[in-house]
Structure 1
Amino acid sequence: MGTPLGDFIRARRDSIQPESCGLPDRDRRRSPGLRRQDLAAQAGVSVEYLTRIEQGRDRNPSPAVVNALADALRLSPSERNHLRYLAKITGEGCSVHIRPVPPSRHVRPSVLRTLSLLEPGVAIVTNRLGDVLAHTSGYRSITEGTGLLDAARPNLNRYLFTDPRARTFFVDWDDVADEQAFDLWQAPSLENLEWLTAELTPVAGPDLTRRLRRHAVPRRGVLRLDHPEGHRLRLLRETFELPAEAQQLVVFLPADDRTAEAVDHLRRRSHGRLRSIS
């Protein structure tokens, strides 16, 4: 059985062209990318040891080995951070029994007061599993009619991967799906991640599982939305981490004047107040 760490290393190895490492491109390769023996040589480890890591039979590589693999794979800073994080949770996972549990949905009163100060702007409080825990009336106005907030306990991942309306609402659905799947690896705990994936994977299917295994670090550009009323919204996102609760405050800002006018129009049509979802 593989591990997140092994999946990531294998995916990155498969994406590297041998020529970029100064290696000849051999004919009749069984798989794309860099051979296991080539990566092992570049990282200064044995092929047998690299095989054990990729296959999940060694879950505790040293920091020196992790750094050597990061160098050999030519990872970007964000990819290096992800590799170290996967090494950490993979090591923890071998010593504990995973008991799927949902994460806490409590939002601190001071966070709710902060959110209220952003009214009538567009903002939400969410966690790494995609639960929408609280939102402003402005957020409700730009999502009204899309189904995103229809559930008693709305979850961005559940909506994104299971509601057909999401593929129309999110113009760049594939990019957003990559972002959300990647963020699941930053779940508050292994138990929380196991809880969501056990519940969501059977209904989300390969669109989710393929992205979870690929570990592609997303490029978070402008968020483009097609509102049911015919407005094309282009939004910038500013994310503020709430590390004590493993939550985030996300503020959405119009990226252009046309979006600002559309958001203002939608707000006037949908009057409401800050909502916390318990």
Structure 2
Amino acid sequence: MATPLGDFVRAKRDSIQPESFGIPDRGRRRSPGLRRSDLASRAGISVEYLTRIEQGRDRNPSPSVVNALADALSLDTAERQHLRYLAKITGGACVGRRRPEPPSREVRPTVLATLHLMEPAVAFVTNRLGDVLAATAGFELMVRGSGLLETDAPNLTRFVFTDPRARAFFPEWDQVADEQVFDLWFGPSAEVSEWFTAELAPAAGEEFTRRLNRHLPPPRVPLRIKHPSGYELCWHREPLDLSGTDGQMLVVLLPADEATEQAMDRLRQRPLRAIS
């Protein structure tokens, strides 16, 4: 019996010309569009499994399979969200499971006091999901105008993959993207990380999902930032784990060169513009 998920995947496959994916024409086909074998190869699944999904004989593909199909079909953000919705109503990933308790956003008073003592240094409290939980005024100055702190619950991972301004703010965007995705493997729990990944994937797209199965840690190099004011900043990072806090870390950024130190001094001396 057909399912909405299977119908969508088959219809989308039939609408794609193989040449648009760089697949050579191999002569006559029984149906228009992309061959099942080509889509299965692109998604990293077997032809048999793809057939079961399209025919409605498998109603429970995992989030990783749904993401792989979205990548293989080159779906845009709206199509990814629709695919995930169809997987849910078909009886797929995460249906019938309660959402795990999100990690606490509360920061211990002693940690907040430590941040206060560190002023005007650049430091912030985060967790492996990328939530920005607290920060020094120096950190807020460093990211001012980037868009990172414009939401009520700022998250660095979400910012990197869904805000176009992130690519200008991080000149070495690929390096930062690799780091943020790799950190998801470390918690605060496997269940929470799985939920966060499933919720972010439709909006973040292939740049996010294709990094999920990389298990080699990215090299830890200085963090380069292009401040909206024009200054180029370079930082060494020192992450300090905070025990008993849902995997929170205190991350201290230290100027990697004299130019960064001088630029931050100039930024601190700039008068704030009044907002009318």
TM-score (norm 1): 0.61
Q: Deviations over 1:52-97 (max 9, x none)?
A: xxxx9xxxxxxxxxxxxxxxxxxxxxxxxxxxxxxxxxxxxxxxx7
Distance of 2:181 and 2:243 partners within structure 1: 20
Q: Deviations over 1:96-150 (max 9, x none)?
A: x774432111111011111111101100000110000000000011111110111
**Residue of structure 1 in register with 2:258 after alignment:** 257
The structural deviation recorded for 1:192 is 1.4
Distance of 2:271 and 2:153 partners within structure 1: 21
| 3-state SS of 1:212 partner | coil
**Residue of structure 1 in register with 2:207 after alignment:** 207
**Residue of structure 2 in register with 1:190 after alignment:** 190
**Residue of structure 1 in register with 2:115 after alignment:** 115
Distance of 1:231 and 1:216 partners within structure 2: 32
Distance of 1:108 and 1:211 partners within structure 2: 33
The structural deviation recorded for 1:270 is 6.7
The structural deviation recorded for 1:168 is 0.7
**Residue of structure 2 in register with 1:268 after alignment:** 269
User: 1:133-148, aligned counterparts within 5 Å?
Assistant: 133-148=133-148
Q: In the alignment, is residue 178 of structure 1 matched against residue 198 of structure 2?
A: no
**Residue of structure 2 in register with 1:168 after alignment:** 168
| 3-state SS of 2:123 partner | strand
| 3-state SS of 1:252 partner | strand
C-alpha contact (below 8 Å) 1:126/1:249 kept by paired residues: yes
**Greater RCO between the two (CA within 8 Å, min separation 6)?**
1
C-alpha contact (below 8 Å) 1:102/1:195 kept by paired residues: no
The structural deviation recorded for 1:175 is 0.6
| 3-state SS of 2:217 partner | coil
User: Match of 1:267, as an amino acid?
Assistant: R
Distance of 1:99 and 1:228 partners within structure 2: 38
User: 1:62-77, aligned counterparts within 5 Å?
Assistant: none
The structural deviation recorded for 1:216 is 2.9
The structural deviation recorded for 1:227 is 0.7
Distance of 1:191 and 1:151 partners within structure 2: 24
Q: In the alignment, is residue 248 of structure 1 matched against residue 258 of structure 2?
A: no
The alignment of Structure 1 onto Structure 2 pairs a total of residues equal to 177
User: Match of 1:164, as an amino acid?
Assistant: P
C-alpha contact (below 8 Å) 1:161/1:207 kept by paired residues: yes
**Residue of structure 2 in register with 1:69 after alignment:** none
C-alpha contact (below 8 Å) 1:142/1:227 kept by paired residues: yes
Distance of 1:206 and 1:269 partners within structure 2: 40
Distance of 1:154 and 1:196 partners within structure 2: 14
User: Match of 2:251, as an amino acid?
Assistant: V
Distance of 1:270 and 1:126 partners within structure 2: 29
Distance of 1:147 and 1:264 partners within structure 2: 22
Instruction: For structure 2, list consecutive stretches of 5 or more residues without a partner in the other structure.
Output: 1-40, 42-61, 63-96
**Residue of structure 2 in register with 1:39 after alignment:** none
**Residue of structure 2 in register with 1:222 after alignment:** 222
C-alpha contact (below 8 Å) 1:231/1:262 kept by paired residues: yes
| 3-state SS of 2:265 partner | helix
C-alpha contact (below 8 Å) 1:125/1:135 kept by paired residues: yes
User: Match of 1:166, as an amino acid?
Assistant: A
TM-score (norm 2): 0.61
Could you list the runs of 4 or more consecutive aligned residues of structure 1 that deviate by over 4 angstroms after TM superposition?
none
Instruction: For structure 1, list consecutive stretches of 5 or more residues without a partner in the other structure.
Output: 1-30, 32-55, 57-96, 272-278
Distance of 1:263 and 1:191 partners within structure 2: 39
| 3-state SS of 1:111 partner | helix
**Residue of structure 2 in register with 1:91 after alignment:** none
Q: Deviations over 1:238-260 (max 9, x none)?
A: 11011311100000011111100
